[in-house]
Chains A and B, each alone.
Chain A
Amino acid sequence: MDGLLALSQAFQQMATGEMLFHVMWATLLGIFVGSLPGLTATMGVALLTTLTYTLDRDAAITVLICMYVGAIYGGSRSAILLNIPGTPASAATALDGYPLAQSGRAGYAMALATAGSALGTMVGILLLVLLAPPLAEAALNFGSFEFFWLAVFGIVISGQLTGGISPLKGYIAGLIGLMVAMIGSEGIHAHIRFNFDMPELNGGIGLIPAMVGAFGFAEVLTVMWRAKANVVNTTGERDRILPKLVDLWRYKFTIARSGVIGTLVGIIPGVGEDIGAWASYAAARRTSKERAQFGKGSYEGLTAAETGNSAVVPGALIPALTLAVPGSAPAAVLIAALFIHGVRPGPMIMIEQPEFIYSVAVMLIFATIAIAVFGLFLTRVFILVLKVPREILMPLVFTLCVIGPYALTQRTFEIWVMVVFGLLGFVLRQMNYPMAPLVLGIILGALLDKSLRRGLTLSDGDLTPFFTRPISAVFVAVIVASIALGVPAVRNAISRTLDRLLKREAERSTDG
């Protein structure tokens, strides 16, 4: 009841003309960014952070959240029309969206994607409002020991789930991020580490310039490297741009399940929208009556993928707000933006700014309404957006990559950081190193470092409390299990044992 009251108060406070104006332009820009292959949600949020630092707190965070929601949704446009996901989050959307477009139902595929995204975000918002306050309260019991394991857990899980066939590359990306975070003044004794006699490095590497490089410059290079894509030209006579309610009702369980899966994936640190979409898609395929249609233009598959990736957005904000641990790469940039605008995410948020979580929920509701309205009524316009030539767009994007990070501190050193991370990010991506653990490493490095040394000081150098305190023990068990499951020999041994047990059980039941 208190939550509902706080939500309605936040709604009254946020529903101003100025705020709605920000919602409209930022969501529209987000959809534009997301729908263009090469422009990702992380890049959009990072670049927009540099443009919003003169706005007040609520307006700036609204703009960034609208950009995030809009970009994740916008990725479905190019996935459906070009068979190229506008953002990695829409890779699963392309599996069914593109075959639908080829069969002349592009408009209806986009309408279903819009409805799925809006409903998925709504499920996520509901869970955000329900889960974030108790999670923040539970996190108040965390000490240095627990925070150390939380940081390790974030890197390990993120590396495990985003590393693809080799979690090792995910772990290495996470370690690179943690190493980057070791540069500059450390948080306990203010000792300056690894500055290589460059005073500019005393304050460490800024997250925003690094992200703009790794997600902006690297994307510009990727787009210019690859051949141009062609927009599918098959708008059929039977095509429609509004979703049928009967279809949405038929997939009500798929929508609810995908929304919950997406939100839960979002809560896991550094995993992100693409895993949310794939997990929802896989769950829908496993339980669907029209399983054979998946991959050939299934409405249910498309709805599951879009609901799943959009639900990750509110999910990723749950740990970002309550633990200062991002659930996805754009959420990591959002944490940096929150600090810039005077919000201190973490367990203290429900004590220092208890209304803020509800304000974020209202911002997400506004963004969801905006994507539903723009998505359903501007379908034809977004097809035109996909036709903007890369030769026009990319130099403008790179110019923003240069001036954006510079504008934050007015130091040309930030441009150097952006360029180095851009080139490094491009090479690492071509070698199949995921970027999410790297981002998470940069943001969690200070927490891991301070928590370990503070914990050791409190226990006078004794490691036992790191393993015996209840929450720490749970974290250790999950971390060890995740790493063990990443080792093929262990995985094979477990699956052999399970097979043997199942076989024995089947034999016993036939004997009985």
Chain B
Amino acid sequence: MTLDSATADRWTSIVLFAVGLAMLVGGYTMDRLEIRQIHPASIPGLVPMILGLAMMLCAALLFLSARSTHMASKAQLADATGSSTATQTGKDAEPTAPRATSNRDLFFAASYSVVYALALVGSLPFAQATAIYIAVFYTHFTWQNASNPTDHLKRIAFGICFGIIGAYAIASLFQYGFLVRLP
């Protein structure tokens, strides 16, 4: 299942329906501040209830229209690709073709960045955490381009230097330039 598919839309609609229902219930059970004798039309839960209902309605429509929307979207994409290739010649004739993606790169970038932001920052001084983050990030993504051990060593050395310089430059800018107490 890809994220841009009818199945994904149906699952999302179920999640959104649940969120809408939670918002509706949350708004309905919210304190109505009777003790403060406020106007009944100004209760704090009013708008959350309306938003919850609206979200449930939209989620139901999304569930029902998932298939037809994706078929229409595919037809439109086919039309667009057809017309663009018809107007181009030569080896670069497909300007609208989707670019290749790497799920492995995405997983590493996402998980490593989350670990840095939520675990490394705060448990280590900011400059040190950032130097480690930048150095490992750079080395990881350039590792596969290296062809021999010397090349690997060069990339590691550059990664470490780049990490230290980048991290201390950013940390100094915020600490001394903007007087921020770093995490």
Residues of chain A whose beta carbon lies under 8 Å from any beta carbon of chain B: 51, 53-54, 83-84, 94-95, 98-99, 102, 164-166, 168-169, 171-172, 175, 178-179, 182, 186, 188-189, 191, 193-194, 217, 220-221, 224-227, 229, 295-296, 389-392, 394-396, 398-400, 402-403, 406-407, 410, 412, 415-416, 418-419, 423, 426-427, 430-432, 448-449, 452-454, 456-457, 460-461
Interface residues of B in 136-150 (CB under 8 A from A): 137-138, 141-142
Partner of A415, one of B23, B84, B117: B117
Partner of A172, one of B3, B55, B121: B55
Q: Report the 3 A-B pairs with minimum CB-CB distance, sorted nearest first.
A: A456-B41, A224-B109, A430-B3
0/1 string, B126-167, CB within 8 A of A gives 1: 100010011001100110000000000000000000100011
- In the complex the two chains form, is A398's CB within 8 Å of B113's CB? yes
| CB-nearest residue of chain B to A391 | B141
- In the complex the two chains form, is A166's CB within 8 Å of B170's CB? no
- In the complex the two chains form, is B51's CB within 8 Å of A226's CB? no
User: How many A-B pairs fall under 8 Å by CB?
Assistant: 192
Partner of A453, one of B42, B90, B114: B42
| CB-nearest residue of chain A to B130 | A399
Task: Check if B65 is an interface residue, CB within 8 A of chain A.
Answer: yes
Majority secondary structure, B binding face: helix
- In the complex the two chains form, is A166's CB within 8 Å of B69's CB? yes
B side interface size, CB within 8 A: 82
For A423, the chain B residues whose CB sits under 8 A away are 110, 114
In angstroms, Cα B179 to Cα A460, docked, is: 51
| CB-nearest residue of chain A to B5 | A431
For A168, the chain B residues whose CB sits under 8 A away are 58, 61-62, 65, 69
For A407, the chain B residues whose CB sits under 8 A away are 174, 178, 180
Majority secondary structure, A binding face: helix
Q: A83-B95, A179-B19, A423-B110 are contacts. A456–B138 as well, Cβ < 8 Å? A: no
In angstroms, Cα B83 to Cα A226, docked, is: 25
Sampled A-B contacts (19; CB under 8 Å): A54-B178, A102-B92, A178-B51, A186-B44, A189-B33, A191-B30, A194-B48, A221-B109, A224-B105, A224-B106, A225-B103, A403-B174, A403-B182, A423-B114, A431-B8, A453-B42, A456-B39, A456-B41, A461-B39
- In the complex the two chains form, is A94's CB within 8 Å of B95's CB? yes
Q: How far is the CB of A293 from chain B (nearest CB, A)?
A: 10
Q: A168-B58, A461-B40 are contacts. A194–B26 as well, Cβ < 8 Å? A: yes
Interface residues of B in 100-126 (CB under 8 A from A): 100-103, 105-106, 108-110, 113-114, 116-118, 121-122, 126
